[in-house]
């Protein structure tokens, strides 16, 4: 099993994070967009540094709010996806994490969302990359892993897979049983995160209180 870590999980600047990840013995990294934007290095330079350190760029994240978008705004979503895929090409990444729509204006229409997710998959396939779609625990209409899988299944595109994040699952009370009907080859990415048990806003809980597996109180082994 390959093991990686997201750059957002570490403090400091991107260059220092890459060195720390390699020194810790990880196989790869997930590059967080904000880390890349804040770095003085270009995506190509980051890719070269990763290669020097023996790190693969396993994932680019996040590409937000790609489904449940009012139809008159969806062309802008596809333009944004193409732009991010261009960045991925320079990084050498072949998978990007797409998050469920968390905006107040998200459209509650499962058929529309599946159609839009399929269209995102088409753009990804045109460029030889894949989409790992994740239900954010604070998503407007899609906030449980079962809902995300339903959309991936409905989208019906080979380039669109399910991303599983243990925090998002467990924060919503879902355990491993929630994945019982998901074929293993349709899970495109797995993220394992822990947290203390806190009664608070789930977005703030995720942003400020996540910890490494085994350091919190979530049942990440389930």
Domain with residue 84: its CATH number is 3.20.20.150
- Answer for the pair 196, 211: CB distance below 8 angstroms, yes or no: yes
Q: How far from chain centre, in Å, is Cα 98?
A: 5
- Rounded to whole angstroms, the Cα distance separating 71 from 48 reads 39
Per-residue confidence (pLDDT) for residue 130, from 0 to 100: 99
Residue 221: pLDDT band (50, 70, 90) is confident
What's the confidence (pLDDT) of residue 170?
A: 96
pLDDT tens-digit series, residues 20-40: 999 999 999 999 999 999 999
Alpha helical stretches, state H, 92-194: 110-126, 145-155, 166-171
Assign 1 a pLDDT band (cuts: 50, 70, 90).
confident
Residue 199 lies in a domain: no
The number of distinct structural domains making up the chain is 1
Is 205 among the domain residues?
A: no
Mean pLDDT of 32-50: 98
Mean pLDDT of 184-189: 98
Domain with 149, as residue range(s), is 4-194
- 167 found inside a domain: yes
Residue at 204 is within a domain: no
**For residue 86, is it within any domain?**
yes
CB burial readout 38-59, b (16+ within 10 A) else e: ebeeebeebbebbeeeebbbbb
Residue 13 lies inside a defined structural domain of this protein: yes
**161 in a domain, yes or no?**
yes
pLDDT tens per residue across span 85-130? 999 999 999 999 999 999 999 999 999 999 999 999 999 999 999 9
Q: What is the pLDDT of residues 3-24, one digit of tens each?
A: 999 999 999 999 999 999 999 9
- Domain membership flag for residue 116: yes
**CA dist., res. 143 & res. 102, Å (int):** 9
Mean residue pLDDT across the chain: 97
Residue 222 has pLDDT above 80, yes or no: no
Residue 107 is encoded by which pair of tokens? 């459209």
């Amino acid at each position: 099993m390959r093991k990686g870590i997201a750059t957002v999980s570490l403090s400091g600047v991107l260059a220092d994070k890459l060195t720390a990840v390699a020194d810790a013995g990880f196989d790869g990294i997930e590059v967080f967009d904000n880390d890349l934007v804040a770095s003085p290095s270009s995506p190509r330079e980051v890719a070269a540094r990763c290669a020097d350190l023996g790190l693969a760029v396993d994932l680019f994240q996040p590409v937000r709010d790609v489904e449940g978008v009012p139809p008159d705004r969806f062309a802008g979503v596809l333009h944004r996806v193409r732009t991010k895929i261009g960045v991925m090409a320079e990084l050498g990444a072949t998978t990007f994490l797409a998050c469920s729509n968390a905006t107040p204006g998200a459209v509650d229409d499962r058929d529309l969302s599946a159609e839009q997710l399929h269209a995102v998959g088409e753009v990804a396939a045109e460029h030889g990359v894949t989409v790992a779609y994740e239900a954010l625990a604070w998503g407007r209409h899609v906030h449980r892993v079962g809902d995300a899988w339903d959309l991936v299944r409905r989208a019906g595109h080979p380039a669109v897979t399910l991303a599983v994040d243990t925090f998002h699952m467990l924060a919503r009370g879902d355990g491993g049983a929630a994945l019982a009907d998901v074929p293993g080859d349709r899970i495109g990415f797995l993220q394992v995160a822990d947290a203390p048990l806190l009664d608070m806003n789930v977005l703030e809980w995720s942003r400020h209180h996540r910890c490494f597996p085994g350091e919190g109180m979530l049942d990440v082994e389930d």
